[in-house]
Structure 1
Amino acid sequence: MKRVFKIGLLLCFAIFCFSIGKAQKLQTKAPVLWVEACVYQGDTIPFVELRNIYVYPPLKFSTQKEWRDYYRLIYNVKKVLPLSIMIHNTIIETYEYVQTLPNQKAKDAHIKRVEKGLKEQYTAQFKKLSYSQGKLLIKLVDRECNQSSYEIIKAFMGSFKAGFYQTFASIFGASLKKEYDSTKDDSLTERVITLAANGQI
Structure 2
Amino acid sequence: MKFYRLILLLNVIITGAYAQVTVKPIDVKYPPMGKNDTIKVAATNVDGLMIPWIGLNEVVINGTRIFKSPAEQAAFYRLRYNVLKVMPYALFAKRRYQQLETDLAVQPDKKEQKKLIKACDQEIKQMFNKEIKELTITQGQILTKLIDRELGRTTYDIVKQTKGGLTAFLYQSVARVVGHNLKSTYDPVEDRDIESIITSSGFYQ
1:193 corresponding residue in structure 2: 198
Moved more, 170-179 or 55-64: 55-64
Amino acid at match of 2:82: N
Superposition CA RMSD, Å: 2.6
Matched, 1:69 2:62: no
2: distance between equivalents of 1:127 and 1:40? 63
Q: Which has the higher helix share?
A: 1
Matched, 1:43 2:48: no
1:172 corresponding residue in structure 2: 178
Counterpart mapping for 1:8-157 below 5 A: 40-44=33-37, 52-157=58-163
Moved more, 67-76 or 97-106: 97-106
Following superposition, which runs of at least 4 residues in structure 1 exceed 4 angstroms of deviation?
44-53
1: distance between equivalents of 2:203 and 2:127? 28
Gaps of 5+ in 2: 1-31, 42-53
1: distance between equivalents of 2:173 and 2:38? 62
Amino acid at match of 1:155: Q
Q: Secondary structure at the residue paired with 1:58?
A: coil
Task: State whether residues 137 and 179 of structure 2, in contact with CA within 8 Å, keep that contact through their aligned partners in structure 1.
Answer: no
Aligned length: 161
After superposition, the C-alpha distances for 1:97-146 in whole angstroms (9 at most, x for unaligned) are 12222332321232122212321244211022222111110000000001
CA change 1:58–1:117 in 2 (3 A) is closer
Quote how far apart the aligned CAs of 1:71 are.
0.9
TM-score after normalising by structure 2: 0.69
2: distance between equivalents of 1:174 and 1:68? 23
2: distance between equivalents of 1:159 and 1:109? 19
Q: Secondary structure at the residue paired with 1:60?
A: coil
State percent identity of aligned pairs. 28
Which protein, 1 or 2, shows the higher relative CO under an 8 Å CA cutoff with sep ≥ 6?
Answer: 1
Task: State whether residues 83 and 197 of structure 2, in contact with CA within 8 Å, keep that contact through their aligned partners in structure 1.
Answer: yes
TM-score after normalising by structure 1: 0.70
Q: Secondary structure at the residue paired with 2:118?
A: helix
After superposition, the C-alpha distances for 1:46-70 in whole angstroms (9 at most, x for unaligned) are 8999864433443332222211111
2:46 corresponding residue in structure 1: none
Quote how far apart the aligned CAs of 1:80 are.
1.2
Gaps of 5+ in 1: 1-38
